[in-house]
Structure 1
Amino acid sequence: MEFLRLGVIYVHLVACCVAMGLVLTSDVAMVSDLLKQKIPSEHDNAHMEKLQKSVVFALIGLWLTGMAVVGIDYLDKGMDYFMNPKLQAKVIIVVMLSYNGVLLHRLVLPALQKAGSLLHLGFSARMLALFCGSLSAVSWMYAAMLGVGRPLAWKYSLSELLMAYPVLILLGFIVMSALTYRAKRQMEATEPQWIELSAR
């Protein structure tokens, strides 16, 4: 049973690393585009769709392997295992990630593809996109921290383990909102010049 658990955890970690790598790559590219005022091309949109599908598959892999680990540990430790605050915190964050992924897939990505750029979204849609992006980035990092934080098990309560989670999401949202606002102001300042030059 020990070797089975080790193998499942290994697959679980690989899926987590793949998903985090893809998410961080996407976030860095988005921030870079904002700073450069780059408008996504059709190639960028196609790449984003493939990226999202890869993250979905990785998330499914995390759910399956995570449930397998929980099942193995339950057989070994009984019902008391489910009282572990660290396990409860991980489940809450993964549920948040999954729900956030549905929002990204059904609302945010279609709106981005239609608008062509984050800067061209309406205010409400742009705020939703920034919040979902911030929640995604923070959740992946937070879940990974809980995953490797074995000393945290049974040492802190659920509220203590999750105390920094909403704070980090809020900070991420504020930073991304400030970057987007700056990029939008710069874009609006340069657009009249392009219109004037094209009119000549």
Structure 2
Amino acid sequence: MKTPKSLMIVGGLLALFSSGHLLADPLTLSVPLPDPLPQLKVLTLLVGLHLLGMCFGLGGATMLDLWILRWMRKGSLPAEIGRIFHFISEAVTIGLCLLWLSGLGFLALYAMESPEKFENPKLWAKVIVVIVLTINGIIIHAFVLPEALRDLSRPLLFGVSRTRAALFLASGAISGVSWYTAFAFGLFRELNNSVTLTLLVIMWLTLIVAASIGATLLWLNSAAAARKPPSSSPPT
């Protein structure tokens, strides 16, 4: 059963808000537990959802990228890998949804206890990154994967139009770069209120352009190698 695309729209916005709260300041809201257990901080629950979401989302996206790189290098993949692609894609969607839930919780805590954090340029940079990441995920599921997975026994994007090939390579670059950018924005607290929004966005876009060029060159090289006729042994 396919995951509703609307969940990805909702989920993606959250990847951004949730990535990077692992080192957040302790919050006072808590959930009472039966004695003798201590009270459980709401922040702890949100961090748990965040970790699960990042495991599913970032891990799944990385696995898809690695399979695509192997496809470029080998020139083909076993037919059953197509089912794995779809399975991992659904796992990424689940991860985005978990990130969305935890991200809304983090935003609520910010609004109640630390509204000044909304002035952090890094927060809005993550918003931009994850909005693009989510839209890109919808495009991948709707247009890219169905076309790319038609025949795994042939080289990647064999017989696909240049437009769709460019869309596939660009969307793959956006996905990989954006997932790790959201992760990095969350991890590096040193970026808080110290780097402008413009610079953060420029850095992200530069990485996307570099990744797109690298993916295109790698695909052209693998496509050229696939077109070469097999070398025949000299007559004895």
Q: TM-score of the superposition, structure 2-length normalised?
A: 0.76
Matches within 5 A, 1:71-82: 71-78=108-115, 80-82=116-118
Matches within 5 A, 1:16-165: 16-37=54-75, 39-78=76-115, 80-114=116-150, 116=152, 117-120=155-158, 121-165=160-204
**Distance in 2 separating the partners of 1:162 and 1:81:** 19
CA apart distance, 1:83: 2.2
**Distance in 2 separating the partners of 1:86 and 1:13:** 20
Indicate if the aligned counterparts of 1:90 and 1:143 stay in contact, CA closer than 8 A. Answer: yes
**Which position in structure 2 is the counterpart of 1:197?**
none
Indicate if the aligned counterparts of 2:71 and 2:156 stay in contact, CA closer than 8 A. Answer: no
After superposition, give the CA deviation of every residue in 1:40-77 in whole Å (9 maximum; x if it has no partner): 33311111010111101101111111111111111112
- Unaligned 5+ segments in structure 1 are 195-200
Deviation larger for 137-146 or 56-65: 56-65
CA apart distance, 1:91: 1.2
**Distance in 1 separating the partners of 2:142 and 2:199:** 33
**Which position in structure 2 is the counterpart of 1:198?**
none
Higher helix proportion (structure 1 or 2): 1
**Distance in 1 separating the partners of 2:101 and 2:202:** 27
**Distance in 1 separating the partners of 2:51 and 2:210:** 27
CA apart distance, 1:118: 2.4
Pair 1:166 & 2:205 matched: yes
Indicate if the aligned counterparts of 1:23 and 1:55 stay in contact, CA closer than 8 A. Answer: yes
Matches within 5 A, 1:173-188: 173-188=212-227
Aligned AA (2:219) = T
- Bigger Rg over Cα: 2
After superposition, give the CA deviation of every residue in 1:123-155 in whole Å (9 maximum; x if it has no partner): 111110000000000001000001112221111
**Which position in structure 1 is the counterpart of 2:7?**
none
**Distance in 2 separating the partners of 1:147 and 1:14:** 15
**Distance in 2 separating the partners of 1:89 and 1:6:** 25
Name the SS of the counterpart of 2:77 in structure 1: coil
